[in-house]
Structure 1
């Protein structure tokens, strides 16, 4: 029943404007499904406890999405995303910029967010461009800062395994460009870390609940060095 529901939801989502089902280039309902395209890796990444069914599809690294039906309970259930391995020292980067355009539900609980890892996952930098429902960042608020082309509430904390720095946009947006390098250097300037090695730079949807089944879509996305 669960597998059939996922399949029906995926086909239903991929209905074109003519009402005729159109297959995406790739799709899966596997918990850890991955697909590589154009130097990016797309991951279904259903990692939280109590998760419901979730199916992912993609036409490219830039255009992908998920249908997710996670129960209305606390705790992150999944983080479907597109990731690009940077693998460069912060001091050697001349540019790290990203553009995004998403379509997202008006209900549920989730954040549309970058998740950037540094120093072999010792540091996690989250950049929330929008949020919905009962979700919030790890740690305590440090300040409000304008950096990287946006204004953020900045939080600092730990999840027990690594330090977490979260930049939560003071108002939601579904499209824009973020100067990620400026954000990373802002953290360094405060002495919260040094000349770190930037690893996997990810962008996607951190979903806590999406009861009844909801669609999360990256209409376009890129990360440029």
Structure 2
């Protein structure tokens, strides 16, 4: 699996050249909301919306992707419907992002609380729910998998098992050819809970796995490889404490 940055200059040009905002499609409306729209939604490949200090990305970046619509009211009330074919390779990483801009050892106590509703494992479904934390721009990538289907896996090989940030993780390290990737996979998967991000980042530096980079984007969302037939992914609770 090759990972790439989630919003590039080329993507910005695409946003500038197309309308990124649309009314919410029928699948995301309740009966009481028929005819109404969410605060924002987009089916554009690089659909992007800024809300306060947070940015939402539709971010369909992988080859062979199908269709995907992202919608959002607030950081704790947003989601996507994706219909990506049952083929290999990550198709998208819809996410909400916050830029910290502090060195690892000066980042303070950063933690995130989340709750998500996701598709059950089945034929044509492959994804993970994950934080993507970037250092020194996009030179270093910390991935924190909270939950995933059995047909996907991290980059690199397992190096350690550690208890950090309130959970026990299997730690993997490798490169995607563009940047170093440090992956933490929860030994007990969860769809709701709190993760201490500072402890994870500082452990990487203390163990010599990663230099003391500046932590820039902190993103949370889903890496979707396939969602054949159309599936909903929804955030029902999310907060980032910095």
TM class by shorter-chain length? over 0.9
TM-aligned CA deviation for residue 194 of structure 1: 2.5
Selected match of 1:199 from 210, 216, 220: 216
Deviations 1:16-53 (A, max 9, x none): 4x473542110010000000112000000000000000
- Are 1:146 and 2:160 an aligned pair? no
Normalising to structure 1: TM-score of the pair? 0.93
Q: List gaps (5 residues or longer) in structure 1.
A: 1-6
TM-aligned CA deviation for residue 8 of structure 1: 11
- Are 1:43 and 2:69 an aligned pair? no
Selected match of 2:87 from 65, 70, 73: 73
Change (3 A) 1:83 1:19: closer
Deviations 1:54-95 (A, max 9, x none): 001000122110000000011000000000000111121221
Q: How does 1:1-225 map to 2 (within 5 A)?
A: 10-16=25-31, 18=32, 20-107=34-121, 108-225=125-242
TM-aligned CA deviation for residue 13 of structure 1: 2.3
In structure 2, C-alpha distance between the alignment counterparts of 1:71 and 1:55, rounded to whole Å: 15
8 Å Cα contact 2:133/2:143 also seen in 1? yes
In structure 2, C-alpha distance between the alignment counterparts of 1:150 and 1:21, rounded to whole Å: 43
Tell me how many residue pairs correspond in the alignment: 218
Deviations 1:155-205 (A, max 9, x none): 000000110000001122110100000000111111012221001000001
SS of alignment partner, residue 59 of structure 1: strand
Normalising to structure 2: TM-score of the pair? 0.86
Displaced runs of 4 or more, over 6 A: none
8 Å Cα contact 1:116/1:202 also seen in 2? yes
TM-aligned CA deviation for residue 122 of structure 1: 1.1
Q: CA RMSD in A?
A: 1.6
In structure 1, C-alpha distance between the alignment counterparts of 2:206 and 2:23, rounded to whole Å: 50
